[in-house]
C-alpha cells in the first residue's frame, strides 16, 4: 500500500484527540464501518504511542494510522517506530519533515500563508495541512490554488459537513476532521459508536462518493 496514494484516494482523516486508550479500537472499527480509512492519533493524547501501535496492528490492511500534533523530529521518529504511516503537524518544522521522509513515511506539515505553504512543500511536505481552515473558509483555498496549483492542501480545523464540499470544490485533496467527526468528550457507548459510523459515512459520501 502506498500511503500517500491511500490518503489522496480516501481523503477523510479522522483526528482522534484525547480519547481513552481502551476506547480507541472500538472507535477505529466504527470509523472503518462508515468508510473512513485514515485515522490520526494526536500525540498529546494519553498513551498515544501505545495506541498507535495497537491500531496499526489490529486494523492492519483496513485503516491507515498516523500521528498528529507532532512538533519535533524526535517525536516523529518515536511515532514512526510505533507504526505511524504519516506524520501530521500543526506547524512547519523542516527537521520533522526530513525525519519523516527518512523513514519513508508521508509528511503533512502545517502551514497557513502562501509563503509557509510553499516552504512546507519545498522542504518535502507531501500534503500541506492548512490550519486553521475554518477561519478562512473555502474561498481562501481557491485563492491559494491560483498561484500554487501544484501543491496539495488538506484543510483542518473548522471543517464540517456544512462546508466540506466547498473545500473540495476549491481543490482540497484531503480533509482533517476533529470533533466534527470524533467527539472524545462523549462517553463511548454503543449508541455513540452507531452515530459515529453514520457521521463517518456522511463525510465520506460528501467528498468520495
Cα 118–132–139 angle (5° rounding)?
Answer: 75
Write the CA distances from 149 to 9, 25, 85, 108, 209, integer angstroms. 18, 37, 26, 17, 24
199 is catalytic: no
Catalytic residue among 40, 54, 85, 199: 40
Catalytic residue among 11, 85, 129, 199: 129
- Evaluate the CA torsion angle 84, 58, 2, 36 in order and state its sign: negative
Percentages helix, strand, coil for the chain (3-state, rounded to 5) are 45, 15, 40
Give residues with Cβ within 8 angstroms of 164, minimum separation 6.
Answer: 175, 203, 206, 207
Q: Are strands 175-177 and 153-155 parallel, antiparallel or unpaired?
A: unpaired
129 is catalytic: yes
CA 50 to chain centre: 18
- Evaluate the CA torsion angle 148, 178, 67, 4 in order and state its sign: negative
Query: What does DSSP assign to residue 186?
Result: S
Which are the catalytic amino acids? Answer: 40, 129
Amino acid at each position: 500500500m502506498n500511503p500517500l496514494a491511500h490518503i489522496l484516494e480516501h481523503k477523510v482523516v479522522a483526528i482522534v484527540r484525547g480519547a481513552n486508550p481502551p476506547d480507541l479500537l472500538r472507535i477505529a472499527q466504527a470509523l472503518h464501518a462508515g468508510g473512513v480509512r485514515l485515522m490520526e492519533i494526536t500525540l498529546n493524547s494519553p498513551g498515544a504511542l501505545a495506541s498507535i501501535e495497537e491500531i496499526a496492528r489490529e486494523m492492519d490492511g483496513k485503516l491507515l494510522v498516523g500521528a498528529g500534533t507532532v512538533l519535533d523530529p524526535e517525536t516523529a521518529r518515536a511515532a514512526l517506530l510505533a507504526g505511524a504511516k504519516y506524520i501530521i503537524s500543526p506547524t512547519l518544522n523542516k527537521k520533522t519533515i526530513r525525519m519523516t521522509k527518512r523513514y519513508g513515511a508521508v509528511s503533512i506539515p502545517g502551514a497557513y500563508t502562501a509563503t509557509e505553504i510553499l516552504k512546507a512543500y519545498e522542504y518535502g511536505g507531501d500534503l500541506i495541512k492548512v490550519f486553521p481552515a475554518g477561519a478562512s473558509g473555502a474561498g481562501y483555498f481557491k485563492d491559494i490554488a491560483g498561484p500554487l496549483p501544484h501543491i496539495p492542501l488538506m484543510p483542518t480545523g473548522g471543517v464540517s459537513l456544512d462546508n466540506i464540499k466547498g473545500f473540495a470544490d476549491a481543490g482540497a485533496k484531503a480533509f482533517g476532521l476533529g470533533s466534527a467527526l470524533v467527539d472524545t468528550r462523549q462517553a463511548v457507548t454503543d449508541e455513540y459508536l452507531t452515530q459515529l459510523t453514520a457521521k463517518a459515512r456522511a463525510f465520506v459520501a460528501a467528498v468520495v462518493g
